[in-house]
A and B are shown apart, each in its own frame.
Chain A
Amino acid sequence: MSDFSIRPEEVRSGATALFDASEAIYEAMNTLAEDSSALEGTPEATEFTGIAECLKAAEVWESDYIAVHRADIEETAKFAAVCAETGEEVDDYGATMFDQYADVYLDDRTAPSPERPGPDPAAQIPRGESLAV
């Protein structure tokens, strides 16, 4: 195990880059959601099952998959920020430890914080696994 050392300004810039990435992903997802909403209620989306699935996909990605990615990114960003600000090894990191530094990192931000979706009891079978056929 390597000894602890940190250059706060570098790690701080990494944390900021992570928050920026999360925001950029939010905006791109938002654009897709808006474009997809143009399909809503159209005869095409009602009668073509594939087009209906496209609409569903945008909703699922916005509320679930992309939200999870953003939450992962921002958790890492917060963790790095806390390490940079405290300047020492953090033993029991909790998300609330970041709250006191939030203004420094999130002041100009327009994207809302990601909300990690709750576990879905009807969760899909993980990709890559085989079903007996």
Chain B
Amino acid sequence: MAITYGLLLEADFTALESVGEAWMDLYGNLDDQAATIGELKAKDVAAFGVNHWEGRNADTAREQVRDIVVDLDERAAAARRVSVSIADAVEEFRAAQSDLNEAVAEVDRERATVTDAGAVVPDTSRGTDNISYAQGMSTRINAALDRATEADEGLKAAIGVWAETFSASERSALIQGAADEAEELQELIDSGASPQAINDWWSGLDEAERLGILEGNPGLIADVDGIPTEDRDAANRDLLEAEIDRFSPTLDADIADLEAQLEELDAAGDRFDEGGGNLGVPHETSEYRELREQLEALEVERDDRDSLEKLQDAISGQARTDQEYFLLGYDSAEDGKAIVSVGNPDTADNTAVYVPGTGGDLDGASGGDLQRAETMAWDAAAVPGGGETAVVMWLDYDAPDDAFLNAPSSSYAEDASEPLTSFMGGLEATNHDPEGTTTTVMGHSYGTTVIGEAASENGLATDQIVAVASPGMTVDHASELNIDPDDFYATTAPGDAIHAAAESSLIHGPDPSDTGLNLSDGPGSGFGGTSFESDSMSWNPMEIHSNYWEDGNSARDNMAKIFTGNGDEVR
């Protein structure tokens, strides 16, 4: 419905602004309650923890608590999005109102008059000169009204989607209204458009079109670099929930039932067929084998579901830095992949992208690797004047499974090079202030090899590169990473098992933490850049390799300084 002249002129948006703030308060409350409820089962010693309650009822209660937390978290996120949409709309309404007031005030009353309906009527008593003048002023007034109308339509779509107030027909109309745009986006993606081109195109859509694509086809934007973080997160969360919902609700009961049947057959002596043709070696009866195969298939399904639920749990609520989690991509196939950000990289003052190494998979992405990202965000938040740092855990590549069997191959890094390059380009495109933001890409172990390959082959949209416990970065010197070597930092703790690989210079290149300050190698030798301290925290070389995020490790302070643009202070 078009906003009329008199309406916009007189409108007061104060009450709407208060409503927007109340939605934000509701978000905070839902988020707090989700955290409180989640605590009931978070630890063994919690009220509903296994130390205090065991058995079928306890399992049921813990499962119910889990579902409540996921639901509340989703509802809290919706309330936050509603609040932001209202705040944006209020700003836009007021801007349109201001445009209108300015236009009306500027109308020269000797040349034209403005009617109560907003029409500009030229004074033609002394000729026709004023007609074009009146048309010009009318255009300005109409532009202000159009601006308000577009904001109103965007607000309606945003509330309908985020607050889930749309009926099926309204939702369908929203999706249909963006059908052409969805097709256009698909063509852009197919043509290999850059993240910047994607972002420019996306920014040119109105809110209703963007929401129509998100609602109708979240899979189209879920993993597209250049789509803003908020939209990408919403798409991925929708897909994750839909994928989890596709698992049978009776999966656990079906598994228990099959286990019971197998036990029964075993107890009755019907597990093995003692008949002939097997050279006296008992083999499973066909009935037992069929049931066992069914059970194995369901167990695989259960593992897949559990991994996805673990990811969903991991991104529920807020990080301990009070930052939100953003799911920027995931893939449940094979080992699984995921991109999760602690904090919004589009709006943070600093962004660090953490690339994990060997052994990275979906479980790690929801567990240890995400905890490392959160730890780094926590440390960066402690740097005085450092601003907000978003830390992205980027595992959008098939990491080597085994340090000895797979990690010597560079093929994993080669395959990861293009996705990482594109992702960093996407972050640059969606960032609100790419010039003012400090961006760092940081790798651990094989993750540094991935970064080296991508940076040297394609160049990465980053200000700095950090290599932790690197087995080599596929190049001989920091200058080959397409950044100023002064912006390259590296560390490897004394005794780290990776020394054996890095020092041999046979696997992925020379040790990046050998910056050339070792005089015995002669001037000009070494990788270049700055090396910083890290601690072993163990005598075990394999443990040392994973200890960089342990409490008290000096590597943490140093990384925090680098991420916040204080790299000149590292020790």
Which residues of A line the B interface, CB within 8 A? 1-7, 10-11, 13-14, 17-18, 21, 24-25, 28-29, 31-32, 35-36, 38-39, 42-44, 47-54, 56-58, 60-61, 65-66, 69, 72-73, 75-76, 79-80, 83, 89-90, 93, 122-131, 133
Binary CB contact string for chain B from 146 to 171 against chain A (1 if under 8 A, 0 otherwise): 00000111111011100111111001
Some 19 contacts from A to B, beta carbons below 8 A apart, are: A2-B55, A2-B59, A11-B53, A14-B48, A24-B29, A28-B25, A32-B25, A35-B21, A43-B7, A44-B15, A47-B3, A48-B7, A48-B152, A53-B156, A66-B75, A72-B64, A79-B64, A93-B57, A126-B245
Which of chain B's residues have a CB closer than 8 A to the CB of A31?
Answer: 22, 25-26
Which of chain A's residues have a CB closer than 8 A to the CB of B37?
Answer: 17-18, 21, 73
B57 with A83: CB separation less than 8 A: yes
A6 with B58: CB separation less than 8 A: yes
Which of B32, B167, B238 sits near A124, CB closer than 8 Å? B167
B86 with A54: CB separation less than 8 A: yes
Which of chain A's residues have a CB closer than 8 A to the CB of B206?
Answer: none
A18 with B55: CB separation less than 8 A: no
A124 with B53: CB separation less than 8 A: no
Question: Given the known A-B contacts A28-B30, A49-B153, A125-B171, are A6 and B164 also in contact in the complex, defined by CB atoms under 8 Å?
Answer: no
Question: Given the known A-B contacts A32-B26, A43-B7, are A128 and B40 also in contact in the complex, defined by CB atoms under 8 Å?
Answer: no
B71 with A72: CB separation less than 8 A: yes
B152 with A50: CB separation less than 8 A: yes
Chain A: CB-nearest residue to B216:
A133
Which of A10, A28, A56, A122 sits near B47, CB closer than 8 Å? A10
Question: Given the known A-B contacts A21-B33, A131-B172, are A60 and B163 also in contact in the complex, defined by CB atoms under 8 Å?
Answer: yes
Which of chain B's residues have a CB closer than 8 A to the CB of A61?
Answer: 163
B241 with A127: CB separation less than 8 A: yes
Cα distance, A38 to B61, chains bound together (Å): 40
Question: Given the known A-B contacts A17-B37, A21-B33, A28-B29, are A69 and B75 also in contact in the complex, defined by CB atoms under 8 Å?
Answer: yes
B33 with A24: CB separation less than 8 A: yes
What's the least CB distance linking B56 to chain A, in Å? Answer: 6
Cα distance, A24 to B168, chains bound together (Å): 32
A14 with B25: CB separation less than 8 A: no
A44 with B36: CB separation less than 8 A: no
A69 with B168: CB separation less than 8 A: no
What's the least CB distance linking B221 to chain A, in Å? Answer: 12
7 extra interface residue pairs, beta carbon distance < 8 Å, beyond A14-B47, A79-B61, A131-B172: A11-B53, A21-B36, A31-B25, A31-B26, A57-B159, A69-B68, A90-B57
Question: Given the known A-B contacts A10-B52, A54-B159, A133-B182, are A49 and B1 also in contact in the complex, defined by CB atoms under 8 Å?
Answer: yes
Closest 4 CB pairs of A and B: A50-B155, A14-B47, A4-B55, A128-B242
Is B60 engaged at the interface, CB distance under 8 Å to the other chain? yes
Chain B: CB-nearest residue to A56:
B165
Cα distance, A80 to B168, chains bound together (Å): 37
A133 with B64: CB separation less than 8 A: no
A32 with B60: CB separation less than 8 A: no
Cα distance, A14 to B39, chains bound together (Å): 10
B156 with A57: CB separation less than 8 A: no
Chain A: CB-nearest residue to B158:
A50
What's the least CB distance linking B69 to chain A, in Å? Answer: 10
B57 with A39: CB separation less than 8 A: no
Which of chain B's residues have a CB closer than 8 A to the CB of A4?
Answer: 54-58
Chain A: CB-nearest residue to B28:
A28
Which of A47, A76, A122, A133 sits near B7, CB closer than 8 Å? A47
Cα distance, A126 to B1, chains bound together (Å): 27
Which of A28, A76, A126, A133 sits near B61, CB closer than 8 Å? A76
Which of chain B's residues have a CB closer than 8 A to the CB of A76?
Answer: 61, 64-65, 68
Question: Given the known A-B contacts A32-B23, A127-B238, A133-B176, are A53 and B159 also in contact in the complex, defined by CB atoms under 8 Å?
Answer: yes
Binary CB contact string for chain B from 1 to 42 against chain A (1 if under 8 A, 0 otherwise): 101100100111101101101110110011011001100100
Chain A: CB-nearest residue to B238:
A128
Which of A35, A73, A75 sits near B18, CB closer than 8 Å? A35
Which of chain A's residues have a CB closer than 8 A to the CB of B182?
Answer: 133
Is B298 engaged at the interface, CB distance under 8 Å to the other chain? no
Which of chain B's residues have a CB closer than 8 A to the CB of A25?
Answer: 29-30, 33
B151 with A50: CB separation less than 8 A: yes
What's the least CB distance linking A56 to chain B, in Å? Answer: 5
Chain A: CB-nearest residue to B21:
A35
Question: Given the known A-B contacts A65-B75, A69-B68, are A49 and B10 also in contact in the complex, defined by CB atoms under 8 Å?
Answer: no
What's the least CB distance linking A65 to chain B, in Å? Answer: 6
Cα distance, A90 to B59, chains bound together (Å): 12
A54 with B241: CB separation less than 8 A: no
Cα distance, A49 to B152, chains bound together (Å): 6
Which of chain B's residues have a CB closer than 8 A to the CB of A42?
Answer: 15
